[in-house]
Structure 1
Amino acid sequence: MLGLGVIAKRLFGSANDRYVKSLGAIVTKINAFEPALQALDDEALRLQTDKFKARLEAGESLDDILPEAFATVREGSRRALGMRHFDVQMVGGIVLHRGEIAEMRTGEGKTLVATLAVYLNALTGKGVHVVTVNDYLASRDAGWMGQVYRFLGLSVGVIIPNLDDASRRAAYGSDITYGTNNEFGFDYLRDNMKYSREQMVQRPFNFAVVDEVDSVLIDEARTPLIISGPTDDKSELYISVDAMVKTLVPEDYIVDEKAKSVILTEDGTEKAERALEAAGLLEGENLYDFENTQVVHHLNQALRANVIFRIDTDYIVRNGKVVIIDEFTGRMMDGRRWSDGLHQAVEAKEGVTIQPENQTLASITFQNYFRMYPKLGGMTGTAATEASEFYDIYKLNVVEMPTNLPVKRIDVDDEFYKSAADKYKAIVKTIGEASAKGQPILVGTVSIEKSEMLSEFLTKEGVKHVVLNARYHEQEAQIVEQAGRLGAVTIATNMAGRGTDIQLGGNAEARIGRELAEFHDGPEKDAEIARIKAEAAAEREAVRAAGGLFVLGTERHESRRIDNQLRGRSGRQGDPGFSRFYLSLDDDLLRIFGQQSMLSRMMNSGLEEGEAIVHPWISKAIETAQKKVEARNYDIRKQLLQYDDVMNDQRKVVYEQRADIMDSETVGDVVVDMRHETVNAIVAETCPQGSFPEQWDVAELQDKVTNTLGLDIDVTGWPQEDAIDPEMVVERLIEASDALMADKAASVPPESWISIEKNFLLQALDHHWKEHLATLDALRQVIHLRAYAQKTPLNEYKSEAFALFERMLVIVREDVTRTLALAQFSMEPQSEPALPGFVTTHIDPFTGENDAGGFSMPSLDAFGSLPPSSLPPGALAGAMAATAELVDVDEETRAEWLREVPRNAMCPCGSGKKFKHCHGVI
């Protein structure tokens, strides 16, 4: 019998359906403006922007002008790009404008949808940020969609790596600014390390639209943006501890795969203590004495590196470096390093050069960065499964958008096998049958190891295929573009956020760009273009007849969203498609999280070798397990955020103080207050209230007067004076220190003195904030031990962090007072200090590379004169490839470079570019 909720949903639709339907009235208003706007010439259409700005200044709201503004963008897009927004895309634009997340399936045109909300909000003149997941997409979309904005009279900027501050400031000053989550975040951190407002590049935040919002705000939210500087080299310690750990046997430790932790047993601890003692690394006899804190930390990390982290699953060794593999995308995170010494422990394990640890100078999580925007919207293909997290953390509602055309993909129940061997036999058989009838297959795996194992199976069976994973990252674009061709078999290590649609019959535009690269314009090239397009069209129909793209999952991921992203590659824009997952009891999800499940009992009770179970109940049980894992992972992220919120509150205070210092005409009053408070603190410490003068710590007082206040005063005789008290000591020291600083200030021009005070104040604040970050990091690693004393670790962390912050402010006051008192000043003009040398951990979440160097983009204005529809999605890639070939080299040399030169290394041709942006362009 159906429940009341199910009956109500069938009669009235879900809450999401009703909300989307309610927006139809606004779409009707938008459509009503279309005939009148079509009748305008280009100049009159462009003047609409000025009219909208005037209406806003007159008091109308953005919602008041939304219907006409959206209709104007639709008409502008039709003229500039030859692309007209569908009605469902209009609904998506309204959702984005309202500060919500639009969940739109793959191929539904999210990039075009963003133009609606972006244009409307840019009319206020406060700037709109469009956040993409990699630098290529930022540049491509700024040039491609920028044609619409410039056609309507708005300016467009793009933030890519290696821009100087002047270029960044100009880009942020534009009406619309495209860039990656990393670039926006690092610019914010860098701005708050500068010494004047004129050096800063960003404006106050207004509105941001985040593309692939689940990747940015969920996946990438696990890792903060960090600006860091190098610390002392501890390579020998890592190597020594690693050698000791390699002598341990499984009986010496207990492994918790869920928590990714390893704990020594009692016997293991005894063995470790003796080995460390023999190596001269142990102070005393007990491993857990206070003096051995650092050794215990290195021991724990070496244990994790050797026992938990596996090569070809968690990382690979490439060109003598340990490169992390992202568990969600299967891509190399080239440039990213595990923190807290773990990466160095893995380097010691693999015997490669150990890179020094870095000390954090500034950091922020994406959660706390994006929560600073007054209004935030996002779009992605998969967000519904994390809807509760989006609302709890960001107060963002997820709205599922209807597709423009009905989805024809068939999703069937999972097939379960008793063993992995049986599962892979069935997978290979299915792939062979589908490929033989011309149906393209996208096979999703969860690790490099398993993709290569499956590749070996297929090779033995004579099935032609390509492998797409971290080892073959360079070929990614063209592999994905042609994965929809007749009979193609593509093995991919996860498909989260690959950023390229799989078109049935293959991508004709990509083939034209690659196959006709050597052709000159003319009849011969036109004939070849026509041939390729005809071939792609014929192949598309053949693939459709074969059933469309077959998505085959070899394993379930911990997150349903990743499985949905894989499935979403099939069935775009009404194409036919098919998907099925193949599972076994050996899969990680079932092995770790479902050992006592109904499924394992059923399979172990009487399932024959090679026999499969297919039942919706079992698929439901797996989904339930995934929900539990998702909830657990969310709790972990939420706890991390709760701890980071403590630092975030302090970060806001420090950054606000820096801003106040930079904005003030003079900070003399602040410096005077700091000096007076320092004097009070010195006297309170050495001459406590209520004590007798003979009880004062005169030696300490003299030391502080000389070395902190810079005063040449003998205070040793003061306690013998009649009626002396601490207040009199304070008055004398304040009077003397004020006189000293007045003389110093008089010795330099007033403007120079103001600059000196500001710079000293900012440098002291920055230095001690950096030290405070390191202290908080150390505190966070051990605070969980307070739970043994029946105390809540988070509350303890808040209390301790607050006390440490108060202490930091006291030290800053004392440091500024001491520095100004003891420093000698010349008449030379004071310049602003240069920023310290630092390393930015800047990760592209989809390519996984630390993209510190950029490529030479053609000017955005170059696209302004292009006729409608002349800029296909691959056009900018072609422009980049064209600018890369600065030096001619023969094909043999280039082929050798492609094999040997790391993609992030400088190109051997001497162009000064990274190899991947020069001769390494695929």
Structure 2
Amino acid sequence: MVEILSKIFGDPNKKIIRNLSSIVSEINDLEKVFESFSSQDDFINKTEELKNRVLNGETLDDILIEAYALVREVSKRILGQRHFDVQLIGGIVLHQGKIAEMKTGEGKTLVATLPSYLNALSGHGVHVVTVNDYLSKRDASWMGPIHRFLGLKVGCLQQEKSFILPEIPGENFDGDFEKLIEVERNIAYSCDILYGTNNEFGFDYLRDNMVDSKSRIVQKEHAFAIVDEVDNILIDGARTPLIISGPVKDRGQDYKKFAHLARTLHVDEDFTSDEKNRSINLTEDGINKIEKTLNISNLYDQENFGVTHFIENAIKANIHYIKDREYVINDGQVVLVDEFTGRLMQGRRYSDGLHQAIEAKENLKIQRESATYATITLQNYFRIYSKLSGMTGTASTEAEEFDKIYSLDVVQIPTNQPNIREDVPDLIFNSEKSKFNALVKKIRDLQKLGQPVLVGTTSIEKSELLSNLLRKNNVNHQVLNAKQHEKEALIIADAGKEGTVTVATNMAGRGTDIILGGSKSVGEKEWEIHNQKILNLGGLVILGSERHESRRIDNQLRGRAGRQGDPGGTQFYISAEDDLMKRFGGDRIQSIMNMVGLDEETPIENKLLTRAVEGAQSKVEGFHFEIRKTLVDYDDVINTQREIIYQLRKQAFSDELLQEKILDIIHNEVEDLVTGFSLNDRNKEDIDLFSQEFSKIIPSSKSHLEDIENITGDSSILSEKLHEIIDNQFVLLKENLQLDQFNGWLRFVLLRSIDSQWVEHLTIMDNMRQGIGLQAAGQRDPLVQYKTIGFQMFEDLMFRINRDISRTIFNVGVNFESNNSTKNSNDSLRTSKGSMMDNVNSGHGEKRIIGKKIGRNDPCPCGSGKKYKKCSETETCGAKV
């Protein structure tokens, strides 16, 4: 159907490229103009001119042609690199808020300098997002001089550190890392262009919404982000949310006990295992064995829920999470390995006790479980940006997901030179042993010819297995996996040298080009000789030791060869025993192999098998997409709630909004109190209860309520009287405290009330999320139930926050009956901080008279994004109660 439509209407991607080519021609026409600039001052003056034109009403599109021509000229002078026409097209696509799919070696890093400069002219910061600290530091130092030469400030984020680039001394800056200047985080964020990893940007956002002072907020805005390796960050990394957490009760001995118990249990006998979903189910024999060992009568009694959680984690840690595959042990700690890139994910931990179960399995020190203080998925973090774009060599296979989740279109950018790489059909073997034997022989033969070889593996475990086989066969080689993360650039620099064999985990080394002939550090003339020799041999050969779960990852591996029109070749060696085959279609492939009837050592090329492999990949791609889609569906619920809470926090840092908000909260609380109190048929007990509740808001309110028995009829009279009392007491509080102390007290109460309740709410929501799947057993949609219960919980949260604030503000310790208080206001403030926390933490068991309702025009907390009055009328709204 797609092919038929393309024939009728033409290829839409080609139309886009054709339309953009006319803009490129106009950029080229300006090249001579900027070549005539004689000094750096000329370029800085031009930058100031462009900024002023934007301030005076011109759009960024109006100045794009001049801006891009200017950047290209500076790149020629600073780096000796001139943007190709296709790179200009890529830069335009990025500015338009789309994904530019550019093949490996097409210079994506240089492309990003164009839209980052253009968008920085608006006065709003641009964030360039990379996959790791090394690349963010490299790119800031490598590309940053272009922007510094043009008069813009450039910064770089690293884990726990921040840097800025110094002024550029003329046109001879060498991009040395040591010339970066370490600065405070907020200074780095004040730069026009800031390089950093997705994790650093995301965690800074969460930390900004935990601070108690406006001066500690570092991220000012989210205007424009350019995401390098966008598929890796927004697709592969999207399954793991960013979490800031703190320790809870130490359960280390429990984890050790259940790790020991798990070692006595056997698959199929005591439990069944689902490799695909990484889950287990206990059998009757297993349940009986556990109950006997633990001396309990029923494992699934409510009081034993924690036991089942411990034992299931312990078993999963034993059989589904393997050392040197899902994680490595580094300095006595379990460090996770990114399954898509093979890189270490420092600081990332599995949640829900799984990480502790792995530590117990490996007999390591068990770190305490943690409570979530703040969390966000990468999907929802990057959707905060007003404009988002990305670059990668492989995005087309995930175009639907980019569109559905991020509203991002994918545009395929033509290569600068024709691609002459030869992709040879897969070789399929009956067993893993025969596959590796054939692979080693192929590598040895290529090395004898002098042709460089890059071998891709899917895990550290497999890379080390292959490395051992190569060593036994006297094949010199280098290994690039998470354990050699620090040496990554050096290993990749030599991967294109004559006779070099490099074994790499998945796409470890991604982001760094493999140059045929090796590093140019040997000198230009000598390198040209080496380069020509490798070209004559046929370029770099890529051998895959098995198919990855995603076709996109396989395409990334293939893309390391044949850059910029270079020759090269690729081929995958796979077997029926590979992980992908076992999890998604191994039985079918094994039966086809048996039907063909060849011996174990003989590989075959078969269309049926190739389709079976591609079918297995399609299954797992769909499976992972559903996981990511489900994650964002559930996080959309908490995301709407998070936006409301974070907006409330922001009001704490505006003195005017702060006072207005606090008064509004207290007045609403009083209004709810009046609503729950009937003026008719009341008795002394009702009046005492009402007085008792109001005195929790105004501690000295008894004298104000002496005439309550005389108030009859319309409750608005009572309401008006109470609101008057609140306003007067608020003014008295303000007068008894200096203005800074007054605002500081309000801010302290608001933030501490929000933060303590929000942490508890996140824990409750997370626990509910873990068990919500059981709703399906009752023929109820778990997501709808999550929205419904989540809305109710959010109502309770807002009620608790408002109650805590209302019952704390006037408990500062000042005698409000008299303006002539002799008590030192500083002493009152310090004393009241302790009593404030008593109020915040003590109220959970108090009787609730009436909850604070969500306004009809407020965002619906069910996560739909609609106003409450509209959304609550729909069938699927979780706010319907």
- TM-score bucket (shorter structure): 0.7 to 0.9
Distance in structure 2 (CA, Å) of the matches to 1:715 and 1:37: 78
SS in 1 for 2:235: helix
Structure 2 residue corresponding to 1:693, chosen from 679, 683, 692: 683
Structure 2 residue corresponding to 1:579, chosen from 551, 557, 570: 570
Partner of 1:781: 770
Structure 1 residue corresponding to 2:278, chosen from 260, 271, 278: 260
Letter aligned with residue 483 of structure 1 = A
Query: 1:82 offset after TM fit, Å?
Result: 1.7
* 1:432-455 deviation line (CA, Å, top 9, x unaligned): 111111111111111222222222
Residues 711 and 717 of structure 2 are in contact (CA less than 8 Å); yes or no, is this contact kept in structure 1? no
Structure 1 residues 705 and 328, CA, compared in 2 at 3 Å: closer, same or farther?
same
Query: 1:674 offset after TM fit, Å?
Result: 2.8
Partner of 1:270: 288
> Does the alignment pair 1:35 with 2:32?
yes
Query: 1:742 offset after TM fit, Å?
Result: 5.4
Structure 2 residue corresponding to 1:425, chosen from 425, 437, 445: 437
Distance in structure 1 (CA, Å) of the matches to 2:337 and 2:215: 40
Letter aligned with residue 401 of structure 1 = I
1:844-863 to structure 2, matched below 5 A, reads: none
SS in 1 for 2:775: helix
Structure 2 residue corresponding to 1:434, chosen from 409, 424, 446: 446
Distance in structure 2 (CA, Å) of the matches to 1:135 and 1:689: 66
| Stretch deviating more after TM superposition (549-558 or 602-611) | 602-611
SS in 1 for 2:826: coil
* Runs (5+) with no aligned partner, structure 2: 164-182, 815-823, 834-881
Partner of 1:353: 365
SS in 2 for 1:29: helix
1:815-854 to structure 2, matched below 5 A, reads: 815-824=804-813, 826-828=824-826
Structure 2 residue corresponding to 1:214, chosen from 209, 226, 231: 231
Distance in structure 1 (CA, Å) of the matches to 2:490 and 2:291: 54
SS in 2 for 1:662: coil
Distance in structure 1 (CA, Å) of the matches to 2:290 and 2:532: 66
Query: 1:743 offset after TM fit, Å?
Result: 4.8
1:168-567 to structure 2, matched below 5 A, reads: 168-250=185-267, 251-276=269-294, 278=295, 285-496=297-508, 498-509=510-521, 530=523, 533-567=524-558
Query: 1:110 offset after TM fit, Å?
Result: 0.9
Partner of 2:140: 142
Residues 447 and 453 of structure 2 are in contact (CA less than 8 Å); yes or no, is this contact kept in structure 1? yes
Distance in structure 1 (CA, Å) of the matches to 2:106 and 2:202: 29
* 1:326-385 deviation line (CA, Å, top 9, x unaligned): 211223323221011100011112211100112111121111111111111111111111
Residues 679 and 713 of structure 2 are in contact (CA less than 8 Å); yes or no, is this contact kept in structure 1? no
Distance in structure 2 (CA, Å) of the matches to 1:550 and 1:577: 6
Letter aligned with residue 284 of structure 2 = E
Distance in structure 2 (CA, Å) of the matches to 1:718 and 1:300: 63
Partner of 2:69: 71
Residues 599 and 618 of structure 1 are in contact (CA less than 8 Å); yes or no, is this contact kept in structure 2? no
Query: 1:601 offset after TM fit, Å?
Result: 2.5
Distance in structure 2 (CA, Å) of the matches to 1:788 and 1:719: 54
Structure 2 residue corresponding to 1:650, chosen from 620, 638, 641: 641
Residues 651 and 658 of structure 2 are in contact (CA less than 8 Å); yes or no, is this contact kept in structure 1? no
Structure 1 residues 695 and 411, CA, compared in 2 at 3 Å: closer, same or farther?
same
Distance in structure 1 (CA, Å) of the matches to 2:96 and 2:209: 30
Residues 711 and 718 of structure 2 are in contact (CA less than 8 Å); yes or no, is this contact kept in structure 1? no
Structure 1 residues 429 and 45, CA, compared in 2 at 3 Å: closer, same or farther?
same
> Does the alignment pair 1:20 with 2:17?
yes
Structure 1 residues 38 and 675, CA, compared in 2 at 3 Å: closer, same or farther?
closer
Query: 1:682 offset after TM fit, Å?
Result: 5.4
> Does the alignment pair 1:624 with 2:615?
yes
Distance in structure 2 (CA, Å) of the matches to 1:51 and 1:90: 22
Residues 371 and 394 of structure 1 are in contact (CA less than 8 Å); yes or no, is this contact kept in structure 2? yes
Distance in structure 1 (CA, Å) of the matches to 2:619 and 2:578: 17
SS in 2 for 1:416: strand
Partner of 1:156: 154
Query: 1:238 offset after TM fit, Å?
Result: 1.6
- Count of residues paired in the alignment: 801
1:45-60 to structure 2, matched below 5 A, reads: 45-60=43-58
Structure 1 residue corresponding to 2:669, chosen from 661, 674, 678: 678
Query: 1:703 offset after TM fit, Å?
Result: 6.2
SS in 2 for 1:390: helix
| Stretch deviating more after TM superposition (818-827 or 293-302) | 818-827
Query: 1:739 offset after TM fit, Å?
Result: 6.3
Structure 1 residue corresponding to 2:789, chosen from 786, 794, 800: 800
Letter aligned with residue 32 of structure 1 = D
Residues 93 and 114 of structure 1 are in contact (CA less than 8 Å); yes or no, is this contact kept in structure 2? yes
Partner of 2:821: none
Query: 1:642 offset after TM fit, Å?
Result: 0.5
SS in 2 for 1:612: coil
Structure 1 residues 307 and 703, CA, compared in 2 at 3 Å: closer, same or farther?
farther
Letter aligned with residue 450 of structure 2 = G
Query: 1:156 offset after TM fit, Å?
Result: 2.1
Structure 1 residues 92 and 739, CA, compared in 2 at 3 Å: closer, same or farther?
closer
Structure 1 residues 682 and 53, CA, compared in 2 at 3 Å: closer, same or farther?
closer
Structure 1 residues 288 and 707, CA, compared in 2 at 3 Å: closer, same or farther?
farther
Query: 1:87 offset after TM fit, Å?
Result: 0.8
Structure 1 residues 757 and 77, CA, compared in 2 at 3 Å: closer, same or farther?
same
Residues 655 and 743 of structure 2 are in contact (CA less than 8 Å); yes or no, is this contact kept in structure 1? no
SS in 1 for 2:809: helix
Query: 1:292 offset after TM fit, Å?
Result: 2.8
SS in 1 for 2:428: strand
* 1:789-822 deviation line (CA, Å, top 9, x unaligned): 1111111111111111111111111111222233
Query: 1:169 offset after TM fit, Å?
Result: 2.6
* 1:684-737 deviation line (CA, Å, top 9, x unaligned): 66x578876388596x76764565653474999999999799889878876776
SS in 1 for 2:394: coil
Q: TM-score, normalised by structure 2?
A: 0.85
Partner of 1:767: 756
> Does the alignment pair 1:662 with 2:668?
no
Residues 693 and 720 of structure 1 are in contact (CA less than 8 Å); yes or no, is this contact kept in structure 2? no
1:97-176 to structure 2, matched below 5 A, reads: 97-163=95-161, 167-176=184-193
Distance in structure 2 (CA, Å) of the matches to 1:785 and 1:691: 47
RMSD: 3.1
Structure 1 residues 436 and 9, CA, compared in 2 at 3 Å: closer, same or farther?
farther
Query: 1:233 offset after TM fit, Å?
Result: 1.1
Query: 1:196 offset after TM fit, Å?
Result: 4.2
SS in 2 for 1:208: strand
Residues 711 and 737 of structure 1 are in contact (CA less than 8 Å); yes or no, is this contact kept in structure 2? no
% same residue? 47
Structure 1 residues 178 and 450, CA, compared in 2 at 3 Å: closer, same or farther?
closer
Structure 1 residues 315 and 162, CA, compared in 2 at 3 Å: closer, same or farther?
closer
Distance in structure 1 (CA, Å) of the matches to 2:442 and 2:711: 101
Q: TM-score, normalised by structure 1?
A: 0.81
| Stretch deviating more after TM superposition (173-182 or 11-20) | 11-20
Residues 130 and 178 of structure 1 are in contact (CA less than 8 Å); yes or no, is this contact kept in structure 2? yes
* 1:389-435 deviation line (CA, Å, top 9, x unaligned): 11111111111111111112110110111111211121111111111
Distance in structure 2 (CA, Å) of the matches to 1:25 and 1:773: 52
Residues 679 and 712 of structure 2 are in contact (CA less than 8 Å); yes or no, is this contact kept in structure 1? no
SS in 1 for 2:416: coil
